[in-house]
Structure 1
Amino acid sequence: MVTPVRVVIALCLLAPFVAMLWVGSYAKVDPVFIGIPFFYWYQMLWVPLSAALTVTAYKLWQRDRRGRVAAAPASSGASPKGGASE
């Protein structure tokens, strides 16, 4: 099921791939930052950004799953772990 939260999760996970695969957008020298050409510092900037976006996607996924488990009817017979209740 596609929900707005899942769309945000997908965008968080896809953004680093698109940013790194679109080489033409950062294949240049200027602007130089502390003596480092743009080509290098732009890629290094995406390392912590990718980690932050991945953590954000994970937290959103956890929140989405908790909301779905809480919204599931108690009489469905499913446990929160996804297995059948005894």
Structure 2
Amino acid sequence: MSQAPPTSGEAVVTPVRVIIALCLTAPFVAMLWVGSYAKTDPAFIGIPFFYWYQMAWVVISTVLTMIAYRLWQRDQRARKSEGGADA
């Protein structure tokens, strides 16, 4: 059975969208896997690992969200230009 090509309104899984999903889910996985950071050593400037690991993920999450947003904007512009060329 052959599949029809997706129309402009349908959701399409592309490599860029997979990267966006990974950028947005990585912080959740990192924070929900408590066993990976539930320890006190190594300490950083006297701060136990448990705390500075979580604070590092605040910055990492911000960067990953910014990357996902920029990729999403680029993907939407590309889809819009493809749709405009066909019309």
Q: Give aligned-pair identity as a percent.
A: 71
d(CA) in 1 for partners of 2:67, 2:26: 12
3-state SS, counterpart of residue 64 of structure 1: helix
How many correspondences in the alignment? 76
Following TM superposition, the consecutive aligned residue runs of length 4 or more in structure 1 with deviations greater than 4 angstroms are none
Alignment of 1:1-86 (within 5 A): 1-74=12-85, 76=87
Q: Which TM-score applies when normalising by structure 2?
A: 0.83
d(CA) in 2 for partners of 1:40, 1:68: 42
Write out per-residue CA displacement over residues 29-73 of structure 1, whole angstroms, 9 at most, x where no aligned residue. Answer: 100000000000000000111011001000000000000111114
d(CA) in 1 for partners of 2:78, 2:66: 18
